Amino acid sequence: MSGKKFYEEINTLKGMAIVCVLFCHAIILYPINLLENDVWREIFKFFGSVPMPLFFLISGYCFSYKGNYGEFIGKKFLRLMLPYVVFGLVDVIPRQVLSAFVNRPSSIGESLKSMLLYGGQYWFLYTLFAVFAIYPFIYLFQKNSIVRMIIVEAVLLAVTLIETDVTVLCLNSVMQYLFFFNTGVMLKLCNIDIFAVDKIKPIPRAIVIVVLIVLWGCLSLFVPYTTVTRTVMGIIGSLSFFLLTKFRVTNWTFSRLGDYSLQLYLLNGFLLVISRTIICSITQIPIIIVAFNMLITLVCSYLFIKYFCKRVKFIRVLMGM
């Protein structure tokens, strides 16, 4: 694959995934709990099942380790944990001082404890860094053996399907998503071009996408939401997104957003407090609330990142750019 092709399609996938994340966040719990509505709860479950598995699969496919663990983990710390610490600390004060405006108010001490031990408000970055920290040892064990790859993949799948509530150090999230990360690595090690779906003609590809989305929706609506269901939905949803990357309108719409997926994630919570406070003071109609939240958090974040954050080196570093 050429560098340009790889870059554009990875960005498209990240763009689709971050839009799903922002959309699920727009279905607010506070000051109005939209998840008490059956329709919005099912919509949330449907769109919320795919972005995290997809992000970890993409991260695994992009994984590269050249044997220097110190250098490797140092780069990951700057990319992931520096923004985690900076934005996590910024988040601490409003949770105590502006408790009337936040969903989960807490004292400074409680917030710091949550950041240190449980992933805080940016648990995804905490979890991804933990995966990067342990994965080189798994990688070195399996990279030169197909048999060991299969064994590791089977073990990680079994671990993913375990019902667990071990939240300390985000162990439950690490167990849940390490399988998807390893799947991405395996595809790369086996030289499988995961973006070769352009070999399928548009009409058959569209039919496959529709079938997958219907299956994805049926699982969401009619099957109990267990770890097995969640994992299968993550796989089906990710495959659907891969097939969508070859449509020109998809690339045009999402590739730009994918370039700033981390930064959109970092800013989302702060802008969401503003947008939901404004819109909930005007109306309690769910669809208007969700649409307004999406408009404000997505558009304002994107413009702020592109035309301000990207141009200031110090801010770029703090935001993992």
What was the pLDDT predicted at 8? 77
Digitized pLDDT (tens) for each residue of the chain, 321 residues in all: 344 445 578 889 999 999 999 999 999 988 899 999 999 999 999 999 899 999 999 999 989 888 899 999 999 999 999 999 999 988 888 777 766 667 777 788 888 888 899 888 899 999 999 999 999 999 988 888 889 889 999 999 998 888 777 888 888 899 999 999 999 998 888 777 666 666 667 778 788 888 999 999 899 888 888 888 989 999 999 988 888 887 778 888 888 888 899 999 999 988 998 999 999 999 999 999 999 999 999 999 999 998 898 888 888 888 888
Asked if 314 contacts 86 with a C-beta cutoff of 8 angstroms, the reply is no
Q: What is the CA radius of gyration of the chain?
A: 20
Question: Which string of DSSP letters, residue by residue, matches 45-102?
Answer: HHHHTSHHHHHHHHHHHT----S-HHHHHHHHIIIIIHHHHHHHHHHHHHHHHTGGGS
Q: Distance from CA of residue 290 to its chain's centroid?
A: 19
Asked if 162 contacts 192 with a C-beta cutoff of 8 angstroms, the reply is no
Q: What CA–CA distance (Å, rounded) separates 8 from 97?
A: 42
Structure tokens at 156: 């990680």
DSSP code at position 205? H
**Region of residue 164 (left: phi > 0; alpha: psi -120 to 50; beta: else):** beta
Which of 12, 31, 7 has the alpha carbon at shortest distance from 293? 31
CA dist 77 → 58, 86, 98, 214 (Å): 18, 12, 30, 40
Q: What CA–CA distance (Å, rounded) separates 310 from 304?
A: 9
| SS3 of the chain: helix, strand, coil, percent, to 5 | 80, 0, 20
**φ and ψ at residue 259, rounded to 5 degrees:** -65, -25
Domain ranges of the chain: 3-318
Structure tokens at 202: 């548009």
What was the pLDDT predicted at 67? 83
**φ and ψ at residue 36, rounded to 5 degrees:** -75, -15
Which of 235, 63, 55, 57 has the alpha carbon at shortest distance from 143? 63
CA dist 216 → 54, 160, 202, 241, 270 (Å): 14, 19, 21, 12, 31
DSSP code at position 194? T
- Count CB neighbours of 45 within 10 A: 18
Asked if 15 contacts 258 with a C-beta cutoff of 8 angstroms, the reply is yes
- Report the alpha-carbon angle 145-196-219, nearest 5: 85
**φ and ψ at residue 223, rounded to 5 degrees:** -115, 135
